[in-house]
Amino acid sequence: MFRNVPNRKMSATPETLAYNSKVEGDVIVTRTDAVINWIRSHSVWPMPMGLACCAIELMAAAASKFDISRFGMEVMRFSPRQADCMIVAGTVTYKMAEVVRRIYDQMPDPKWVVAMGACASTGGMYRSYAVLQGVDRIVPVDVYVSGCPPRPEALLDAMIKLQKKIGQEASTQGLLKDRTKAAV
């Protein structure tokens, strides 16, 4: 975007004190964090952990009417190895909790979790012996979405919030951190 800056006289105007391609070439000065976060936040690959009716809204969010690809996160991967954001969409039973955690463990770092809907966030209306009361008991959750089920717009909003959150991370420090010991 800076390649075609028209040639200007080299005088100490505020304009030339800023970036000048004739002087600096194709160099952009920035922070590593900003670059890494910019890359990460604009290529979120979600892992659709669809467990109940929320998954239908998740599918709607990916379909043409709502079109999650506008925000660069349409590459839904059903293999945890190829995904970095688990969208837990639905009721997590105790029997399924094990699977959710294992799939989370199989996802490569860095990774994020969105708890979509009341059930994934708190157990929802299932105050029952069989249902995990909030997926944050077994995996660290970044964004919670209210609703039963949430509208696709609500999920899009959550994903944009997640992008903002990714944008604020200290990613450079994270590169050196031993994430295998990350606690829940």
Partner 1 sequence: METAPGFAKDYAYLMERESADCPSYLCPVGEILGFATDLRDKHGYDLLVDLTAVDWDQDSPRFMVVYHFLSSTGHDYLRIAVNCTDDESPEVPSLSEIYPAADWHERECFDMFGIKFTGHPDMRRILMWEDYPYFPLRKEFPLAGIETPLPAADIAEVTGVEAIPAPMMGGPFVAPSEGRVSESEPRAKDQSWTETSPKPPRQEAATE
Give the residues lining the site for partner 1 (CB under 8 A).
94-95, 97-98, 101-102, 123, 125-133, 137-138, 184
Q: Is the dihedral of CA 40, 122, 133, 148 positive or negative?
A: negative
- DSSP line for 35-83: HHHHHHHTS--EEEEE-STHHHHHHHHHSTTT-GGGGT-----SSGGG-
- Of residues 13 and 108, the one with the C-beta less far from partner 1: 108
Q: How far apart are CA 148 and CA 57, in angstroms?
A: 10
- Of residues 16 and 133, the one with the C-beta less far from partner 1: 133
In angstroms, give the least distance from the CB of 94 to partner 1: 5
In angstroms, give the least distance from the CB of 123 to partner 1: 7
In angstroms, give the least distance from the CB of 140 to partner 1: 10
- Of residues 68 and 119, the one with the C-beta less far from partner 1: 119
Q: Which amino acid is at 150?
A: P
- Of residues 78 and 94, the one with the C-beta less far from partner 1: 94
Q: Which residues contact 173 (CB under 8 A, 6 or more apart)?
A: none
Q: What is the largest CA-CA distance in the chain?
A: 75
In angstroms, give the least distance from the CB of 127 to partner 1: 4
Q: How far apart are CA 93 and CA 87, in angstroms?
A: 16
- Of residues 54 and 131, the one with the C-beta less far from partner 1: 131
In angstroms, give the least distance from the CB of 130 to partner 1: 7
